[in-house]
Amino acid sequence: MPGKRGALLDPRSREYHWVATAIQAVAEASGQKSRWNKRVYFELSGLEGAASPDGGMSVSDATVLHPLRRAYAGEQLTDSDLSQLRDALVTLTHESLHLCHELQNADGAVQLSAAELALEEGLAENWAQQNVHQVIHAMDLAGKHPTLLTQKPVDAYPALQSATTTLVDGVDTLSGRQHEEVVRRLQAAKATERFGVIADLVIEGRYGGTGDRPELRAQLERTLQEKFAPVLTVERDGSLDADAQKQRGSEISALAVAELDQVLTSPHSRSPAQQPQAVEQTWEQQILAWQKEQTQQAAAREPQVGSVEHLQKFLAQGQPHREDSGQVAQLPGTPADPRHLIARRNPGRAVD
């Protein structure tokens, strides 16, 4: 079960203090307000950590707190220990960033589409990998273990991370804005409004304003919802190794960007993209739906290929024009997977 919470950590304990320090450091470094409700639980699902819709944080005793206890005790750590320690800190960073993002609707439910969920996870993990050093410094671990800062990253979501990077790169190109600014705008937006933010950015880049193009904006949003969603299927595909997931995630995202460009260029020549289905379920129903879904094969279908002329660089990073080389399982409008949303997996373990 995702996000299976155990007992609360005592707020007077040092473990609680470590988690609180990380949460505060992430809020400061990201410039965003945290929704943390001051509660920290033991995570019992086997995952490294989870951020809950109610603002609670849970962490694994074995894979997050234990490495920290050893580090603060001044034990001699091997390279492998240091790698695990860094990953524990990335987990704290990743979950803390989820707590800075607005994921819920007015009723407190999290109802993200597959594409929105994939982007939230990709943004959270990429940011965590790039900013974990700020948490390491805040937790005063750099002095004790200086080589912690140079440990190799262990990516928890290879497909979602590469797809997110490719998407942001594409938006940079189409909008003429800096990469950092695009990331900042996406981080600050509600998870359900990020594709609208992208639509605004690329319309501004192409036409110099957004005010009088509501139909184009809606069409761009729908296109992204449909074309970006399959990266979640790739992330869940246990038959692919991390490198293959990375490559496939990037390819799907490059095609989504190419499609975005085509809609921008000739909006009315495109057939309307499918409407993403809103996930109108409670949190518990989403969990049940996800478990049921795991027993079914996702229908495979050919990805659509868009105009790629001046976006060639994105496609060229992977295997250009691989559109006919295999099928990409697509899961439009799939119920949001709460485990992906709230939990950081233990690298090396299957996501599901």
Contacts to Zn ion by CB under 5 A: 121, 124
For residue 67, give the nearest of 42, 39, 87, 51 by alpha carbon. 87
Closer CB to Zn ion, 173 or 245, in the complex: 245
CA distance linking residue 277 with residue 168, whole number of Å: 24
Closer CB to Zn ion, 121 or 200, in the complex: 121
Q: What's the closest the beta carbon of residue 125 comes to Zn ion, in angstroms?
A: 7
CA distance linking residue 64 with residue 116, whole number of Å: 27
Closer CB to Zn ion, 82 or 160, in the complex: 160
CA distance linking residue 20 with residue 24, whole number of Å: 6
Q: What's the closest the beta carbon of residue 281 comes to Zn ion, in angstroms?
A: 19
Closer CB to Zn ion, 223 or 346, in the complex: 346
Closer CB to Zn ion, 89 or 124, in the complex: 124
Q: What's the closest the beta carbon of residue 233 comes to Zn ion, in angstroms?
A: 17
Q: What's the closest the beta carbon of residue 15 comes to Zn ion, in angstroms?
A: 21
Q: What's the closest the beta carbon of residue 94 comes to Zn ion, in angstroms?
A: 6
